[in-house]
Amino acid sequence: MQPSCPICHNLSVCGRYRLSRRKQLVEEYFDSAGEEDWTPRYNVAPTQPVPVIRQNPKEPRRELSLVRWGLIPWWAKDSSGAASMINARSETAATKPAFCDALKLRRCLIPADGFYEWLRAGKTKQPYCFEVNEGQLFAFAGIWETWKDPNRNAMQTCSILTTTPSAVTSAVHDRMPVILDPDCYDLWLDPGMKNPDAASDLLKPSNALLMRCYPVSARVNHVAKRRRRVLDAREAR
């Protein structure tokens, strides 16, 4: 279902997403393993801990761990800009100081099974949920960094790469998160692949034929609504 409304250009892209599967299902789908626990959420928000999947640099295995959503460059003096670094534009990430090192050296998969965008209509904003293959797990293209505070305490953070919209997302927003083709997972995660141009070539809009969107309840506007299902807007009436 595509909304017949004008494109919204003034809302941040991919500011909330959904990962409603249990940790075991996520690990099985992405052939990964990790020690940190994960509670399924229907409303993942910036600055929260989120699961990412990375390739072990010394052994042929994928590892799942939790990092904070909102990238802090390793050279930053403080963490104040993290909330504004939840996304990185794929077209310029290779040249931006905040993202270029991570795109070259520190890439990850960020598992999800849906994401939300908002369409502004007058003074109101209607949220829409976007899915792939009717709610199947997928992976955003992510990058990550390790930042140390003045006391040398380390924090790992991440950002989701964005690109131009598919035919499905363009009705709501002029950007969309990069959803990687599963055939690209190995190359994207490969620590030996340090060519930023080759990495950027993988950052394309998703196949619109595999996607769908539908309006959901405005309860997704509230970060506290993270563990309950966000209703289809028609169900909420």
Q: Which residues are catalytic?
A: 14, 117
In one-letter notation, the amino acid at residue 2 is Q
Distance CA 189, CA 186 (A): 5
Instruction: Using alpha carbons, select from 145, 163, 136, 160 the residue that is nearest to residue 30.
Output: 136
Q: Are 147 and 73 in contact (CB under 8 A)?
A: yes
Is residue 163 within 8 A of residue 175, CB to CB? The reply is yes
3-state secondary structure of 149: coil
Backbone φ, ψ for residue 28 (5° rounding) = -65, -45
The C-alpha atoms of residue 23 and residue 39 are separated, in whole angstroms, by 7
